[in-house]
Structure formats: structure tokens, C-alpha cells
Amino acid sequence: MPEIPEMREHFANLFTRPLPAHVTASETTLGGRPALELRPAASGVAGEDVLLYLHGGGFVVGSARATAHLPAELLRHLDGRAVSLDYRLAPEHPFPAAPDDCLAAYRELLDSGADPRRLVLAGDSAGAMLAVVTMLRARDEGLPMPAAAVLFSPVADLTLGGTSVRTKDGVDPIFTPADLGWFFERYLDGAEAAAPGASPLFADLAGLPPLLIQAGSSELLLDDAVRLAGRAAADEVTVTLEVAARQPHVFQHDGTSAEAVAALERAGRFLSTRLHDEKAAA
């Protein structure tokens, strides 16, 4: 594997792209961590909807800016703003630093006046896992749940127990099982991989808000998404699972593909619908 600074630079170069014209970005802080706030560019004034976005990168690479195009696309469907968080990364800051940061960010949004009925979460890959863990920890601490969450290719099982980790080896164009193990080992730093706080597949998901899970059929982590959806359904959570044929991990990154554009459109509409339902019920 390359050196970690080189990996982070490569990830940033690979994914960072100009933000769409419909949003403006500004640096801020949330939960004691740097963050990027996205707002509609047209008027400069956003409504009360808030999207907390948690980026992917295997808990080791990635940043709020590198994947900001994803929350920017979701923001098209919201009347408000999106905040992408730069949580601490491993191996300098192993588990539970990242979930601690994400929970602190969620708590600050609530403490600063965000209405949980107008608050939604989203994330990709490791960030999608952190979105689930954040909601579980918030639930356990008695904090209100957000209106909904969107999970792009979520990591759910750090034990690498999914069948697709083996059956999609050589099909996945991005990862090998050894790659995933390398990232997860640096994140866990000796912590128990099967602990519910580390792998939400093994947690009680009862009480979570409606979830939309999207994954590609070609990814090693396909079974993480499938099993997470099944666990959520068994725990009486409203969940929608979408699997895009012959698509890789977080295929939504490719803004030029019809599959990515359509998936982001559905995800944005899902959040908008849940927010509309919450507003109507208020």
C-alpha cells in the first residue's frame, strides 16, 4: 500500500471537482471539527432544512471537500443547507474518534436550533456507516432522530463477513478483500470488529428513521448493504434498498453516468419526501 499522505492526496485528486453552480461553499466548524457548509447560490438565503453529510474514504482518507459534490446534488431537493464534516481520520485517530466527532456534530446542530423534523443525514461508504452509528448513539442518549437518512454503499460489517467480499473479488474494480482489511484494521486499532458500536450490522436498529440504501451489484460490500437493509427491516425500520446492476462502490460519484444521475435524483427525492411528510405532520 502507498504511504497514507500519498493515499489522501490521490483520493482528493481523484474525487474533488468544481461544485455545481447552484451552490456556494464556505468553511465552518461543527462539533469542534472543520466542516464545509453548502447553501443555494441563487438567493444566498436557505430555509430550515439541514443535511449532515459524512464522507467516505475507509476511515483513513477523504475529506468534506473531496466528496462535496454528493451533498451538493442532494441539496437541490432541500429547502436549506448541507454541512459536510471533516471528522478525525485513522490511524492518527482510530475508533471511536470518528463516531465521537459525528455525534458531537449532530448534537451541535440540535443544540443550535435545528429542528430534527427538518434534519436529515447522508453518507457514502465509511461515512454511511458513521451516519448509522451516529443515529444509534443519538438514540441511546435520548436525542431525537432525524427525519431520514440516505446511505450510499454503506460499510456495515468490519469483520468482512459478507459473502460478496469473496464472490465479488475480481469483479469489484476498486477493492480487494485485503484492501478493505487494511483500512478497517487501521480504523479499529485493536478494537472488536463485531462490536455493535463499530459494526452496525450487529446493533439493534430499532427506532431509526426511514432509510434509503443504494449499492452497486459489482462491489465487495454489496452484502453489507443487503444485510443492513434486512436487519433494519427486522427491527421495524422503514427501509428501501436499491441495487444498481453492474455498478461499483459509490457509483454515485460518476456524475456523467445515467445510473449515478438517476440514483442521486431518487435519493434527493427520498429526503425531500420525508421532510415534506414531517412538515405536514408538524
pLDDT digits (tens, 9 = 90+) for 195-251: 999 999 999 999 999 999 999 999 999 999 999 999 999 999 999 999 999 999 999
Class of 4-281 in CATH: alpha beta
Average pLDDT over every residue of 28-53: 90
How many residues does this entry show for the chain?
A: 282
Contact 24, 46 (CB under 8 A): no
Contact 52, 106 (CB under 8 A): yes
Q: How far is CA 204 from CA 12, 135, 138, 148, 153, in A?
A: 35, 11, 13, 17, 20
Q: Is residue 44 scored above 80 in pLDDT?
A: no
Q: Is residue 43 scored above 90 in pLDDT?
A: no
Tens-place pLDDT, residues 142-200: 999 999 999 999 999 999 999 999 999 999 999 999 999 999 999 999 999 999 999 99
Contact 176, 169 (CB under 8 A): yes
pLDDT computed for residue 255 by the predictor: 83
Contact 81, 272 (CB under 8 A): no
Helical segments of the chain, H only: 4-15, 69-75, 97-111, 126-140, 164-167, 177-188, 222-234, 258-281
Q: Which of 98, 18, 103, 19 is nearest to 58 (CA)?
A: 98
pLDDT computed for residue 111 by the predictor: 98
Q: Is residue 256 scored above 90 in pLDDT?
A: no
Kindly list the domain boundaries of the chain, sorted by start residue.
4-281
% pLDDT > 90, the chain: 92
Model pTM score = 0.96
Distance CA 175, CA 247 (A): 13
Q: Which of 210, 239, 224, 66 is nearest to 147 (CA)?
A: 210
Average pLDDT over every residue of 104-118: 98
Active site residues: 125
11 Cβ partners below 8 Å, 6+ apart? Answer: 57, 61, 62, 66
Tens-place pLDDT, residues 116-136: 999 999 999 999 999 999 999
